[in-house]
Structure 1
Amino acid sequence: MKGIVFVELIRMAESVMGEEAVDDILDKVDLENDGAFSAVGNYPCRELLQIVDAVGAELGAPVEALQKQFGHWMFGRFVDGYPVFFEGKTDGFDMLESIENEVHVEVRKLYPEVELPTFATERLADGRFKMVYSSERPLHHFCHGLIEACLQHFKHVASIQMTERMDGEKFCAEFLMQKAA
């Protein structure tokens, strides 16, 4: 997993808890690099999950809620750092549709070794939208937060229903979205 995700998780935690508290947490968690992450490095996803677990335990927050909040945080970083991906998109569903065939294509050009989740999307009747997340990594709650933040960015009021399942070794989640009338 790319180091930028670790760097941003630590930044988010520091914004809530302070740098010293986060340093204490990182000292307690068994990490290969002792919590020193580079934005361009590659690190095991299990270490990200360990940090999320430790921060959640310290805050008394459910891990799923923390992952969702992190999704909101990361979406903000994507908007700030990669505005080109948002050009020409006037609708949150347009943005979500572009992840697999536009955003991930560009990410793979920069980082050919990166392991990305897959996203299948479908526009349904009555303005509903379906997105299916599939990955070896159990980050579907993080994805849920990204989706919420995307819809908020485009000023949509929408309901999002998430259905989790396993597909062999992969974590899958189906997100069914409906914009409010």
Structure 2
Amino acid sequence: MKGIIFTEFLDLVEEKFGLALADSIMENTDLASGGIYTSVGTYNFSEMLALLATLSAKSNISVDDLLEIYAEHFFGSLKKNYPEIFAKYEEPIEMLASIENHIHVEVRKIYPNAELPSFTIESRTETTLVMIYKSSRAMYSFGRGLMNKTLQHFNCSGTILMEKLKEDGTEVKFSITKNE
């Protein structure tokens, strides 16, 4: 997993929960890397799971809820650092439908070895999008948080329904409806 995911996560923990809790989760989580991350490095996904589990235990917030909170933070970082990606789109359904064929292509230019989830579009209209998320990492709640922030970015309200197609969360159907 790319280091930017770790560095941004630790930034979120410090911002939202404070430096003391950020230090505590680093001290109380067994990390092969020693918890020393660079944004361009690559680290084992198990370390992110361990950090999330420790933060969940210390904050009494579920891992899924933490992933959504983190995604909202991460969206802000993407928007700040890569505004050209956002400038291409005029509305959320268009942007969300382009995840696989544009956004992930751009991410791979920046982080060539990034292991990204796949998104397959099942149906699309001007106000709805149904797509299938697939990832061995089962970070669908992170995806949902990014989708929520995409709606907000375009000053839209809407609903995002999630249906696990595989119980372990490695395959999830997202049905997104933009309110008019």
Same fold, TM-score > 0.5, yes or no? yes
1:35-72 alpha-carbon deviations (Å, 9 max, x no partner): 11111100111111111111111111111111111111
SS at 2:42's partner residue?
Answer: coil
- Count, aligned residues: 180
1:180 paired residue number: 179
Unaligned runs of 5+ in 2: none
1:89 paired residue number: 89
Scaled by the length of structure 1, the TM-score of the pair is 0.92
Whole-Å separation in 1 of the counterparts to 2:110 and 2:125: 37
> Letter of the aligned partner of 1:180 in structure 2?
N
Alignment of 1:14-33 (within 5 A): 14-33=14-33
Whole-Å separation in 2 of the counterparts to 1:123 and 1:89: 19
1:60 is the counterpart of 2:54: no
Structure 1: 4+ residue segments shifted above 6 A:
none
The answer on whether the counterparts of 1:27 and 1:34 sit within 8 Å (CA) in structure 2 is: no
SS at 2:41's partner residue?
Answer: coil
Scaled by the length of structure 2, the TM-score of the pair is 0.93
Whole-Å separation in 2 of the counterparts to 1:10 and 1:142: 15
> Letter of the aligned partner of 1:9 in structure 2?
F
1:158 paired residue number: 158
Decide whether aligned partners of structure 1 residues 55 and 126 sit closer, same or farther in structure 2, where only a CA change above 3 A counts.
Answer: same
1:72-122 alpha-carbon deviations (Å, 9 max, x no partner): 111111111101111231101111122211121122233332211111224
> Letter of the aligned partner of 2:79 in structure 1?
V
The answer on whether the counterparts of 1:71 and 1:143 sit within 8 Å (CA) in structure 2 is: yes
2:143 paired residue number: 143
The answer on whether the counterparts of 1:128 and 1:176 sit within 8 Å (CA) in structure 2 is: yes
RMSD: 1.8
> Letter of the aligned partner of 1:73 in structure 2?
H
Unaligned runs of 5+ in 1: none
1:48 is the counterpart of 2:48: yes
